[in-house]
Structure 1
Amino acid sequence: MSSQQSSNSASASASASASGSGSRNATSSTSSSISIPATAAAGGITVTQPPSTASASYYKIAKDSWITFGWNMTSLYVQPQSLTVVASCSANGNVYPVGPNPTASNPNVFRGNTTQVVWNPYDWEQVPGQIPFAEATYVLKIYDERGDGSQMKGGYLSSYAGTNFMIYRPAGYQSIADGWKCSTCSDAFETLSHPAHLAVLTTLFITVLSIWGILRR
């Protein structure tokens, strides 16, 4: 066999090997080696945590207060190469990265088979230059390497935008002496809860009991 024939044979073998490898890794490679039925539905995300409820979940911005988001991916023929997770706030128009480590490189970009992410907004606010979180409603968004709002395509993951949740800052402690008032209490209860009024009421109660004891003798 000539050197030219040997070269052609080696090239053919390499091409066959590459083709076989591409078929075995079809779910994580390009669509050129994947057979997607024409009737295939676009892939989607179903969030499992927090559970789907009628009202939004409430999360506080506090040290060691972690939020967990979990999901499943369905109807996929093509596994995403990566997933980006963000929290969008319509109140201030900002989009916040979601991830466990705010100082990492690409901290809110994960492997394409990721199904859970934990997040602590408090840690993110400690990073210089980070935009403070608004006490408002947020929408969880998850999308693949094609970007947010990419065109729906059979077998590929569709961008997800759902799971409304709210972030708030817990109020600091304030005593009655410093001016704390119960916003949900009645005026009568609020009056009785004042230290001076409470002392008068206690004295009156003790006096009544004493008189009652004397009258019973």
Structure 2
Amino acid sequence: MSQQQSQSATARPSGSGSASASASGNRNSTSISIPATAAAGGITVTQPPSTASASYYKIAKDSWITFGWNITSVLVQPTSLTVLASCSANGNVYPVGPSPTGSGSTNASNANVFPGNTTQVVWNPYDWEQIPGQVPFAEATYVLKIFDERGDGSAVKGGYLSPYAGTNFMMYRPGGYTSLSDGWTCSTCSSAFETFSQPAHLAIFTSLLITVLTAWGILRR
């Protein structure tokens, strides 16, 4: 296998019916022979587990989300990986990754781009919302998306990583605490329970119950 001077990942037909590709970013990279029958590379998400029920995550301070994955059948190692969360409810796509350093920082353009061998990302949506200009998260369902330096719409190709779009998860905002004295009511309680929670109504019900039980006792004598 000869050494080639190359800056970008390319694929060219060879006389044996295979493709030759060189890893991006390495001036003195070793060419890789990709068989014509090679499977396309893929991503298998391990966290959250695919066998688990739907994942719900809070949009709250110090509430962290971890995504983990394995990369399989890749012959041409990606130079970089971009991780996004796509929300169909509002049509927005959000960066997934560590929050940019510093409170109120606007240097978020590359905070969701990672080395090509990355297999885990830790994310705090609440911190991202604090960055000026960031679109607030919707309380809705999101789809995790991961793709290499060739872009989200790159073609499926033997030996190369295919764009991933899967792992549905939901995000919500926890409700604030409201005391009884501030007007909290039970929205899921029955009207009968709410009626008996009032002292006057409870006293009437108790008197009526005693009268019925007394009459029943007299009739049984």
TM-score normalised by structure 2 residue count: 0.74
- The answer to whether the Cα contact below 8 Å between 1:81 and 1:111 also exists between their aligned partners in 2 is yes
Per the alignment, do residues 80 and 197 of structure 1 end up closer, same or farther by CA in structure 2, a change over 3 Å counting?
farther
Match of 2:143 among 123, 139, 144: 139
Change (3 A) 1:27 1:169: farther
Cα distance, 1:33 vs structure 2: 1.3
Distance 1:114 1:27, change over 3 A: farther
Gap change, CA 1:197 and 1:69, over 3 Å in 2: farther
- 1:186 Cα offset (Å): 1.9
Shift of 1:54: 6.1
Q: Per the alignment, do residues 33 and 66 of structure 1 end up closer, same or farther by CA in structure 2, a change over 3 Å counting?
A: same
- Where does residue 82 of structure 1 map in the other structure? 80
Aligned match of 1:29 in 23, 28, 38?
23
- Provide the rounded CA distance (Å) in 2 between the counterparts of 1:181 and 1:27: 65
5+ long unaligned stretches in structure 2: 8-19, 211-221
- Aligned match of 1:119: 123
Q: Which deviations, in whole Å up to 9, do the C-alpha atoms of 1:155-207 show, x marking residues without a partner?
A: 0000000000011000001123333222322222233445x469x56xx69xx
1:149 aligned onto 2:153 = yes
Question: How far apart, in 2, do the equivalents of 1:145 and 1:88 lie?
Answer: 18
Paired residues of 2:141 and 2:169 also in contact (CA < 8 A): yes
Distance 1:87 1:56 in 2: 15
Distance apart, 1:56 and its partner CA: 2.1
* C-alpha distance in 1 between matches for 2:73 and 2:21: 12
Cα distance between partner residues in 2 of 1:85 and 1:55: 22
Q: Is the 8 A contact 1:28 1:80 kept in 2?
A: no
In structure 2, how many angstroms separate the alpha carbons of the residues matched to 1:190 and 1:27? 72
**Other-structure match for 1:166:** 170
Structure 1 residues 149 and 190: CA distance shift in structure 2, 3 A: farther
2: CA distance between counterparts of 1:136 and 1:55?
16
Select between 100-109 and 111-120 the one with higher mean Cα deviation.
100-109
Partner of 2:59: 61
Segments of 4+ moved more than 6 angstroms:
none
| C-alpha deviation, 1:32, in angstroms | 8.3
Is the radius of gyration larger for structure 1 or structure 2? 1
Change beyond 3 A, Cα 1:186–1:157: same
1:35 counterpart SS class: strand
Please identify, of 176-185 and 162-171, the stretch whose mean Cα deviation from structure 2 is larger.
176-185
User: Structure 1 counterpart of 2:186, which letter?
Assistant: C
The structural deviation recorded for 1:149 is 2.0
Q: Which has the higher strand share?
A: 2
Q: Return the alpha-carbon distance in structure 2 between the equivalents of residues 62 and 197 of structure 1.
A: 42
Aligned residue-pair number: 183
Rounded to whole Å, the distance in 2 between the matches of 1:37 and 1:197 is 84
> Normalising by structure 1, what TM-score?
0.75
**Any gaps of 5 or more consecutive residues in structure 1?**
1-15, 209-217
Q: Counterpart in 2 of 1:46?
A: 44
